[in-house]
Amino acid sequence: MLAGFSKLVAPDATAAVFASHGIVDPVVLGAVVGALEIGAGVMLMWGIWQRKVALVLMACVAVLAVVFHSPLALGGVAGRMHVLDLALDVLVIFGLWRVATMAAPPVPAPKAS
């Protein structure tokens, strides 16, 4: 949620980072990604569709890791922060996998008598 909030609070900085990686329409995509991160975080906290939300976030973080934090995205030059960001992405993916596989099953609807 914090990452999404930072994208929405500083849209110009977000757009600049997205544009530097060749992202098309970085202003709109930055807002969409920020809203997705906030919305998904709230849904995870409240236990709404935990498994599905965790799987969607896993996919998003995997794309983020490849596009923004992998050494390939940096032209073969990986700074220390990008390596740490990539490691954090991997840890987040494993945490989300844990949520997706261990979340409580949905509560069944009451049966009509």
Same domain, 40 and 72: no
pTM over 0.85: no
**Number of compact structural domains in the chain:** 2
- pLDDT tens sequence across 10-50: 989 888 888 887 888 889 988 998 998 899 989 988 888 88
Could you give the CA distance from residue 4 to residue 30 in angstroms, rounded to a whole number?
A: 9
Residue 91: both structure tokens together: 């840890």
Which structural domain, as residue segments, surrounds residue 8? 1-48
Contact (CB, 8 A) for 63 and 52: no
User: Shortest CA distance to 15 belongs to which of 24, 27, 3?
Assistant: 27
Whether pLDDT at 78 is above 60: no
Residue 93 forms part of a structural domain: yes
pLDDT for position 55: 92
> Which residues have CB under 8 Å from 107's CB, separation 6+?
none
56 with 41, same domain: the answer is no
Closest CA to 57 of 28, 31, 95: 95
